[in-house]
Chain A
Amino acid sequence: DGGITQSPKYLFRKEGQNVTLSCEQNLNHDAMYWYRQDPGQGLRLIYYSQIVNDFQKGDIAEGYSVSREKKESFPLTVTSAQKNPTAFYLCASSPDREGSPLHFGNGTRLTVT
């Protein structure tokens, strides 16, 4: 079955450590996205990408970095510079055509203590 896989589901890190969240899709979608969700709140856009080796900052990119070395993969690194990294992170992809919705992974819940 085609879909988006985020791993792991739960991630625990100590403050000051960088951590990388995985996102892989086998839908052959061009566009990929990372969102952050805090409890009871909406999704905020971190980074997005249309093609390999190209990506754009979203509304809250500070303290995060991404890479897009393969079409299928869009890992997100939460750096030690991110002041409040504890959150639920959602990865999504889309064919990036009019009318095409985002397809989401099941998310990674990151806890930094």
Chain B
Amino acid sequence: GIQVEQSPPDLILQEGANSTLRCNFSDSVNNLQWFHQNPWGQLINLFYIPSGTKQNGRLSATTVATERYSLLYISSSQTTDSGVYFCAVEDNNAGNMLTFGGGTRLMVKP
């Protein structure tokens, strides 16, 4: 099956700093999503982005499908950005199966 690797696994930022999270995947995809898991466990949709660039407030994401990676940018980080960020992909032959990466655990310090 498709492999999904996220980096870095852990990240500590000072409030106000910017960061880039990376998601590499091993095959062509027809679905890529970024999620934020808050401290209570809920996974919040950030982006549905199989290709191209999208922006939502301080967050933006870019997927370069031909090179098999996606980037999540967080600008002017806030303590509420803390949590785990997951990338999930679905390859063209997977049917209804998203494969999740291992996540990036982000801590933003005040």
The answer to whether A and B come from one shared complex is no
B residues lining the A interface (CB < 8 Å): none
